[in-house]
Structure 1
Amino acid sequence: MDPDQHRDQGSIAIEAAILVPAILLFLLLVIAAGRVETAKGVVDAAARDAARSASLARTQNAAAQAAGDSAAATLNQEGVACRGQQSIQVAFAPATQNQAGSVQVTVSCVVGLGDLTVPGLPGSTTMTSSFTSVIDLYRAS
């Protein structure tokens, strides 16, 4: 038996023991990044839905209420749980002579990283999204 051949015995097991955890960690990071981006997309959808609901309301108070209800419904439906209360800001741009008014809704949600990635992971991230919708001039009264 060649002495060099004897030295190489078991080297594959050592290489696998080093590479497999690194590959698994990389895959977990990719999954975590994907879940964070998916949650960001849900916050974007909540802002879009809230702005559309606010644009259909007849008064500013009704618009703020409709925006809050719509954003909360979208976040709940998609399973994104905000820590504490989500923040919803509604701003109106008045109509001018040549164009209709608009409403801009900003939704902010503090999401725990443990909810998105690995359960028990500490920390949180704030996701914020804004959307503007033209106020529907021909909405039903």
Structure 2
Amino acid sequence: MTGEASERGAAAVEFAIIVPALGLLIALTIGTARVWYAQTVVEQIAGTSARAASLARTAPEARLAAERIARAQASTTGLNCAALTVDVDVGGFRVPVGQPAQVRSRVACSVPLADLIVPGWPGQWGLDAEATSVLDRYRRRG
């Protein structure tokens, strides 16, 4: 057998091995980018809800404002949270005026893997973020 005859079909075999590997690499890159984007959105929601809470006059208003803005922002960004929870620490409203105080917002979101990686893929990916916003030192707190 000559050397030329023994290499027949080698290109097809190489192609059959390389193309699926490249496809898998591209799919993995896209999936990673989508998870990163979802985490970034959750961090943005946490920051926005903490800021909304810090602008409120009272602790109950702060909780309500943070919850409302978090849900609104999750829907406008297109993040499909199966379960969105917003936990706001409003202990800063008890700090006397003139002393530094802050509010903290923690946002947790469970995103279906079918929305992130592969359509039809079962399961959920848990994302969470926390943000802090300072209260105005000299504004009356309720």
Distance 1:54 1:97, change over 3 A: closer
Structure 2 portions without partners, runs of 5+: none
The answer to whether residue 117 in structure 2 is matched with residue 117 in structure 1 is yes
C-alpha RMSD of matched pairs (Å): 2.1
Give the corresponding residue for 1:66.
65
Q: Aligned AA for 1:106?
A: R
Residue 140 of structure 1 and its aligned partner are, at CA, apart by 9.8
SS of the residue corresponding to residue 49 of structure 1 reads: helix
Pairwise CA distance, 1:100: 2.2
Percent identity between matched residues is 37
For 1:81 and 1:89, how far apart are their aligned partners in 2? 19
Q: Is the 8 A contact 2:80 2:111 kept in 1?
A: yes
Letter in 2 for 1:127: L
SS at match of 2:106: strand
Match of 1:89 among 73, 77, 87: 87
TM-score (norm 1): 0.90
1:140–1:116 distance in 2 versus 1, CA, 3 Å: farther
Number of residue equivalences: 139
Give the whole-Å Cα distance in 1 for the aligned partners of 2:8 and 2:125: 48
Q: Deviations over 1:38-75 (max 9, x none)?
A: 00000000000000000000111110010011111111
Provide TM-score, normalisation by structure 2: 0.90
**Contact 2:97 2:140 (8 Å CA) reproduced:** no
Aligned to 1:108: 108
Unaligned ranges ≥5, structure 1: none
Q: Which stretches of structure 1, 4 residues or longer, exceed 4 Å deviation after superposition?
A: 137-141
